[in-house]
Chain A
Amino acid sequence: SAVISQKPSRDICQRGTSLTIQCQVDSQVTMMFWYRQQPGQSLTLIATANQGSEATYESGFVIDKFPISRPNLTFSTLTVSNMSPEDSSIYLCSVRGGLHEQYFGPGTRLTVT
């Protein structure tokens, strides 16, 4: 399985500001995925990030709000822009492992005040 790290592990931010979350994988992967886990809720896919191309966003998520970079095969960033308290969530990075399952990073716990 892949080892995935995320930075920061948690942050408290003021509304209107932006935060960039980093995701590092210990092996080269084609696709990386960004999920949001709102308090007490399940995981929702934000976008899929391929190296060398624009990220693909799920319904309800837009690039202006959640810009993603994928500069190489082991790294990606997700920015949460112009934050509001509703953006308070855990943000998780994941990669596909083998043929079927996905592996997840430890998450970034964001609180917006």
Chain B
Amino acid sequence: AQSVAQPEDQVNVAEGNPLTVKCTYSVSGNPYLFWYVQYPNRGLQFLLKYITGDNLVKGSYGFEAEFNKSQTSFHLKKPSALVSDSALYFCAVRPPNNFNKFYFGSGTKLNVKP
């Protein structure tokens, strides 16, 4: 069965410090992996994706994510957090044989304190 796990409901970091939001997945075949961010009262915004190639992918707003096949992980990172990064972050996986089916993690609330 396909699934995505975000083990932390909440991550707290101080502004200027690096941040990591964790994601692990279970999917048959080579996964397509995504990160989305949801600001209050807004829809989901696409941040970045891994399809193939370099394991480190860069996305919007200075975020990056590292694909680790052996650990089935796709952690979201940023070298220096901003207060404005505070939001809800969702990891998602799409099976390689279904273009339309996305499985979302439960979400991680990121709090960046000044």
**Chain A residues within CB distance 8 Å of chain B:** 1, 4, 6, 31, 33, 41-45, 48, 92, 94, 96-97, 100-107, 109
When the two chains form their complex, are residues A33 and B43 in contact, meaning their CB atoms are under 8 A apart?
no
When the two chains form their complex, are residues B46 and A4 in contact, meaning their CB atoms are under 8 A apart?
no
Query: What 1/0 flags go to B11-52 for Cβ under 8 Å of A?
Result: 000000000000000000000101010000111111001010
When the two chains form their complex, are residues B94 and A100 in contact, meaning their CB atoms are under 8 A apart?
yes
Q: Given A4-B43, A43-B90, A102-B102, list of 9 further CB < 8 A pairs? A: A42-B90, A42-B107, A43-B44, A97-B46, A100-B34, A100-B51, A100-B99, A101-B34, A109-B41
Residues of B within 8 A of A109 (CB): 41
When the two chains form their complex, are residues A33 and B100 in contact, meaning their CB atoms are under 8 A apart?
yes
When the two chains form their complex, are residues A107 and B106 in contact, meaning their CB atoms are under 8 A apart?
no
Q: Could you tell me the distance between the alpha carbons of A48 and B45 in the complex, rounded to whole angstroms?
A: 20
When the two chains form their complex, are residues B42 and A1 in contact, meaning their CB atoms are under 8 A apart?
no
When the two chains form their complex, are residues A42 and B105 in contact, meaning their CB atoms are under 8 A apart?
yes
**Which of B44, B90, B94, B99 counts the most chain A CB atoms within 10 A?**
B44
When the two chains form their complex, are residues B107 and A107 in contact, meaning their CB atoms are under 8 A apart?
no
Q: Which residue of B43, B49, B51, B106 contacts A104 across the interface (Cβ within 8 Å)? A: B43
Q: Could you tell me the distance between the alpha carbons of A54 and B61 in the complex, rounded to whole angstroms?
A: 39
24 residue pairs A–B, Cβ–Cβ below 8 Å? A1-B46, A4-B43, A6-B43, A31-B100, A33-B100, A41-B106, A42-B90, A42-B104, A43-B102, A43-B104, A45-B102, A92-B43, A92-B44, A94-B44, A96-B99, A100-B34, A100-B51, A100-B94, A101-B34, A101-B49, A103-B46, A104-B45, A106-B41, A109-B41
Nearest opposing residue in chain A for B100, CB measure: A48
Residues of B within 8 A of A94 (CB): 44
Query: What 1/0 flags go to B72-114 for Cβ under 8 Å of A?
Result: 0000000000000000001000100001111011110000000
When the two chains form their complex, are residues A100 and B49 in contact, meaning their CB atoms are under 8 A apart?
yes
A42-B43 contact, Cβ under 8 Å, with A100-B94, A101-B34: no
Shortest CB-to-CB span from A8 to chain B, Å, is: 13
Residues of B within 8 A of A41 (CB): 106-107
